[in-house]
């Protein structure tokens, strides 16, 4: 007769560690919109080690670690997690959408200009901003910084 995997695990995993299963089951709810960028690497005694996709996000979560601990421990009768550590994971975006080549016709001659786009991390960060005007201003500012940086590289390369 077939049984659920959770029932099978209850027989294997010692009662003192069953809270870890509960943590893993509820992880998406706990971490919310960061679920694609933060994973549990290790649960050891009262230490939780999280893998984070970007250093900035790691720093932000470190600053919010007390709140994160309270949210995690609210699932249990007593404090299970006392310490949280973060490790930066080497995750590269699947598609590099940073640079695209766009053909333009100017005065009957073909010229190529780089079109600058946001990468996946930048796009997802901006997506979280609710105010459309602010979002557009930040996007334009960031793209203009990329253009300026590219122009400086060209200038020094041609010198």
If you count them, how many residues does the chain have? 159
pTM over 0.85: no
pLDDT at res. 52: 92
Tell me the pLDDT tens digit for each residue of 33-49: 888 889 999 999 899 99
Answer for the pair 80, 43: CB distance below 8 angstroms, yes or no.
Answer: no
Tell me the pLDDT tens digit for each residue of 45-61: 899 999 998 888 899 99
pLDDT at res. 75: 92
Residue 158 has pLDDT above 80, yes or no: no
Beta-sheet pairing, 109-116 with 99-106:
antiparallel
Element (H, E) at 27: helix 27-31
Given pLDDT bands bounded at 50, 70 and 90, which one contains residue 95? very low
Answer for the pair 104, 111: CB distance below 8 angstroms, yes or no.
Answer: yes
Beta-sheet pairing, 47-52 with 83-88:
parallel
pLDDT at res. 159: 54
Q: Picking from 33-47, 48-62, 73-87, 106-120, which range would have the lowest pLDDT averaged per residue?
A: 106-120
Domains of the chain: 5-88 (3.30.300.180), 99-158 (no CATH)
Closest of 79, 80, 19, 31 to residue 57, by C-alpha: 31
Q: What mean pLDDT, rounded, does the chain reach?
A: 77
Closest of 55, 50, 9, 4 to residue 27, by C-alpha: 50
pLDDT at res. 147: 79
User: What sign results for the dihedral spanned by CA atoms 102, 105, 110, 114?
Assistant: negative
Using CA atoms, how far apart are residues 32 and 10, in angstroms rounded to an integer? 26
């Amino acid at each position: 007769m077939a049984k659920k995997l959770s029932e099978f695990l209850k027989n294997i995993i010692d009662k003192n560690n069953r809270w870890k299963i509960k943590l893993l089951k509820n992880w998406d709810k706990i971490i919310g919109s960061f679920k694609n960028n933060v994973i549990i690497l290790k649960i050891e005694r009262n230490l939780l080690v999280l893998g984070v996709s970007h250093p900035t996000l790691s720093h932000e979560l470190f600053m919010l670690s007390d709140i994160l601990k309270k949210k995690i421990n609210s699932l249990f009768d007593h404090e299970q997690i006392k310490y949280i550590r973060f490790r930066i994971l080497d995750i590269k975006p699947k598609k590099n959408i940073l640079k695209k080549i766009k053909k333009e016709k100017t005065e009957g001659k073909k010229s190529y200009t780089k079109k600058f786009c946001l990468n996946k991390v930048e796009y997802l960060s901006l997506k979280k901003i609710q105010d459309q005007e602010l979002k557009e201003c930040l996007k334009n500012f960031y793209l203009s910084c990329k253009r300026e940086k590219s122009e400086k590289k060209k200038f020094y390369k041609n010198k």
